[in-house]
Every structure is written in structure tokens, then in C-alpha cells.
Amino acid sequence: MIGIFTTTIVFVAFECGSPSRFTERPVALDQGGRGFARWCEIQDAAGAPIRHGPFESYTLKGVLVERGLYQDGLESGRWEGFHSNGKVSWRGERFNGEDVGQWQLFHPNGRLRSEGQMLEGRREGVWLESNARGAELRELSYLRGQLEGPSTYFYPGGVVQRQGTYRDGEPPRFLEVVSFRRLATNGGWLQARASARHLVVVRRIGGHLAGL
């Protein structure tokens, strides 16, 4: 069955394979406000309608908000969300209603904001985060959705700013990497020399250099 959005906004034809049925109606959008959605649906074993196939939602002005696929009433397959300017806001895979696999989030200008793995709807493993100019900001480790393991923060130029390790969800005591012009107490001078992403960090105690 093919359906066309029944508003003054013209949309591309939306196709539902047999025996699916095309449905459209006003909805509350996840980011707030009202909009419209259209999807395909079938009947479950009890005869109740469930979503099955393509799904799309729009603002009242016709701006695409998100799109993806349903399988037997659950979000499964490729999903994407969009900024108000039409650029992709996020994209990734879902299985049985949960985020899984590689996910990416984007700034409104289209540059990558963060990316990493999702497992059962939660962040897992290393996630990278960047600013709107494309400079890497953070490299964070997750376990079942919580910060766990090594975390590194960068200056905009890519040089390490501080490092530490989260354990059992507790924030670390970060090692601060400072410039030659700044001091750290702890019994002496703390100095860092940066070359690309590699650092030489030493401390000066009693006029002598000592490793950390």
C-alpha cells in the first residue's frame, strides 16, 4: 500500500509492502513539540496493530526529524535523526528496540561530535568526542553505560591535556599535563613537552629532573 502525507506539505510517496498498512497521524516529538509521523503497520497475533517497516517523523513545518525501521513492533535496523537544518544529528543500528553497534553523533554543521559502540542501549568501549571544528576533545572508556577505564582529554590542537582512569564509576585523580610556563606543586615543577600526540612529562625536584 502507498500513502501520501495528507497535509499541505508535499512528501515523497511512502510504500508499505503487503500485508502492511500505511498509517499517519500527529505525534509528540522526542525533542519536544508536536509533529507528524507516518509508518507501516501489521496486526500481531492478537489482532492489535504494531509498527512493521519504514517509519518517519516530521515537524509541523515538514522538516524530517528521524527515520528508521520497525520489526514486529520494535525498532530494528538503521536509524537516523536530523538537525533542524536538515543535516544528520545521529545515526546507528537498533535491534529489538535497543541501540547496538557503531553509533555516530554530529554537530549541526555536519562535523562528527562523537562516535563509539553501543551494547544493549548503553555506551560500551572507547568513545571519541570532537568539537564543531573537528578537533578531538575527549577519548573516554565505558562499561555498560558508565565511565570505566582510561580517559584522555585533549587541547584543541590534539595535545593531551589530562589523563586518568575511572574505576567502579568513580572519577579519577587526573594527571594534569601543563605547559612550561605553569607549575604544579606536589613537591616540585611539573613540565611537559608536546610533539604531535606524544608527550614527555617530567618533574623537577631539588634542581634535578625525575620521571613520573
pLDDT recorded at residue 161: 87
Q: Can you give the pLDDT at residue 176?
A: 62
Residue 17's pLDDT is what? 78
Which pLDDT does position 174 carry in this prediction? 67
- Contact indicator for 212, 175 with CB cutoff of 8 Å: yes
**Average pLDDT per run of 10 along the chain, which is 212 residues long?**
40 71 91 91 94 94 94 96 95 97 98 97 97 95 94 87 86 61 40 41 42 41
Percent of the chain with pLDDT over 70: 75
Q: What is the pLDDT of residue 173?
A: 72
Confidence at residue 151, expressed as pLDDT on a 0 to 100 scale: 92
From the list 118, 117, 116, 159, the residue with the least C-alpha distance to 137 is 159
Q: What's the confidence (pLDDT) of residue 86? A: 93
SS3 of the chain: helix, strand, coil, percent, to 5: 0, 60, 40
Which position has the grid cell 585523580? 173
pLDDT digits (tens, 9 = 90+) for 143-154: 999 999 999 999
Structural Rg of the chain based on CA atoms: 24
Q: pTM of the entire structure?
A: 0.76
